[in-house]
Chains A and B, each alone.
Chain A
Amino acid sequence: AQSVAQPEDQVNVAEGNPLTVKCTYSVSGNPYLFWYVQYPNRGLQFLLKYITGDNLVKGSYGFEAEFNKSQTSFHLKKPSALVSDSALYFCAVRDRSYGQNFVFGPGTRLSVLP
């Protein structure tokens, strides 16, 4: 079975500081990993994905994530946070052999303080 954990419900960071939103996963096979962001009363917007290759993945709006197979983690990072980054962030996993169904983490609310 697939599962995704985001251990922090809430992350607070000052504007201009680096941010990290944590994600760990569990799949039976090799994973495809995704990060999405959700603004209030909106659907999810795709940020980035890890499929294969370089463990450091760069995505939209200056975000990046590092795939760590030994720690089964895929933490989202940004070197310098903006107030406009404040939103709800979801990590998602697909098992490569399980088709298209996503499993989402519980979400982490990021607040960037001015």
Chain B
Amino acid sequence: GAVVSQHPSRVICKSGTSVKIECRSLDFQATTMFWYRQFPKQSLMLMATSNEGSKATYEQGVEKDKFLINHASLTLSTLTVTSAHPEDSSFYICSGGRGQDSNQPQHFGDGTRLSIL
């Protein structure tokens, strides 16, 4: 099946640091990727939709200057948490799907656990 690789799996850093998370589709091209945030014992919250070659679409309440998304190629999307603070600590997950058909499942990365001290 389709594979999405997300890196790093875990980050621990000091407050004020910027952190970049990469999401790669290994065996398919993803024109669209999604970034989610998951709090403990809660569901996934969609943060933004990453579109190859264009600006990301952010969900209401998500600061686009705080969470920078770049989707420069069909196989790579990155999420940069700028000047991270303890409240940004969370589990971040990316996903991508083959093509544009909405009947196709999304394939998820293994997530990145971000801990800001």
Where the two chains meet, the residues of A that have a C-beta atom closer than 8 Å to any C-beta of B are 32, 34, 36, 41-46, 49, 51, 90, 94, 96, 98-102, 104-107
* Complex: A96 Cα to B100 Cα, angstroms: 12
Which of B41, B42, B107, B111 is within 8 Å of A46, CB to CB?
A: B107
Closest chain B CB from A4 CB (angstroms):
9
B32 within 8 A of partner (CB): yes
Number of B interface residues in the complex (CB < 8 A): 27
Where the two chains meet, the residues of B that have a C-beta atom closer than 8 Å to any C-beta of A are 1, 4, 6, 9, 32, 34, 41-44, 46, 49, 91, 93, 95, 97, 100, 102-103, 105-111, 113
Q: Are B93 and A43 in contact (CB under 8 A)?
A: yes
**Interface core residue of B9, B44, B91 (most chain A CB under 10 Å):** B44
Q: Are A43 and B108 in contact (CB under 8 A)?
A: yes
* Complex: A4 Cα to B1 Cα, angstroms: 26
* Complex: A42 Cα to B6 Cα, angstroms: 10
Q: Are A104 and B44 in contact (CB under 8 A)?
A: yes
Closest chain A CB from B71 CB (angstroms):
14
* Complex: A101 Cα to B32 Cα, angstroms: 10
Q: A34-B105, A43-B109, A107-B42 are in contact. Are A100 and B4 (CB under 8 A)?
A: no
* Complex: A4 Cα to B22 Cα, angstroms: 29
